[in-house]
Structure 1
């Protein structure tokens, strides 16, 4: 089971362009989880773009810290969703070379973090769409009912309330 994936600089740039509302300046993508969460290196440490929560945090100041976390079962489950990835693989889901696992209904809109809600998607498309969703959701008052989500042919996401 492949818990991390790497992509080209162009793929990372296109995937993360919709996350511009977070401060990605000075951060260089180094790899992703099988679910498309992006790990970055920067002068001040190592950052994690959590696509489920829509957050960017700096959990590690050093490469050794990052390595120690991701070499532990607890760290693999927390940051790489290793248990869920193993369930998806057992269910016959295997991302192709340019793909990652994705939630059919994003947890940010009430989708379950469960193997029955997992599919595979192109890395660039999946991470970009998720960034657009989080950008639009973050400005909504708590409890706002989402009436629908549409994705245009050019990949633009529109949430209707």
Structure 2
């Protein structure tokens, strides 16, 4: 299956971008704005100084990937970066299972990697963007101060 940027990204049309980040403000500053959402539910953000940051919603890692939008556009098409940031093989495998995205959806983890979930097609399902970002942000907020290996008993959602 040939994977294009249409399969690797989702449209932000009609998405309340502030609401999308509301459960991630513990990690993400107010001075960033979403610029791109991957079909696997990760978010690329532009800082007010122009830097592009990658929010990996599976691991709750936020890292700088480019100094500005022009550099990001160059870097994202390089195979090494595309494979790391967008994981086209996994997206293709998910699509091959017959799973599809409707507008306003991404492929979201059924079980986050932080809770033992795997990066495999069976661990993903089409999910509303707001639901994906809200649940992942709440879970990671509850987990972020725990030492590695801490048994997880209860996770609550608002």
* Alignment coverage as a number of residue pairs: 152
Give 3-state SS (helix, strand or coil) of 1:127's partner. Answer: helix
Checking the alignment, whether the CA contact within 8 Å between 2:52 and 2:69 is kept in structure 1 is yes
Partner of 2:74: 68
- Structure 2: where are the runs of 5+ without partners? none
Mapped pair 1:32 → 2:34:
no
Q: Pick from 98, 102, 126 the counterpart of residue 92 of structure 1.
A: 98
Note the C-alpha offset of 1:9.
7.1
Q: Pick from 129, 132, 137 the counterpart of residue 138 of structure 2.
A: 132
Q: Tell which deviates more after alignment, 129-138 or 22-31.
A: 22-31
CA, structure 1 residues 23+9, in 2 after alignment: closer, same or farther (shift >3 Å)?
Answer: farther
Checking the alignment, whether the CA contact within 8 Å between 1:12 and 1:124 is kept in structure 2 is no
Q: Which has the higher strand share?
A: 1
- Structure 1: where are the runs of 5+ without partners? 157-161
Partner of 2:23: 18
The two structures, once aligned, show a CA RMSD in angstroms of: 1.6
Q: TM-score normalized by structure 2?
A: 0.88
Q: TM-score normalized by structure 1?
A: 0.86
Give 3-state SS (helix, strand or coil) of 1:23's partner. Answer: coil
Note the C-alpha offset of 1:110.
0.3
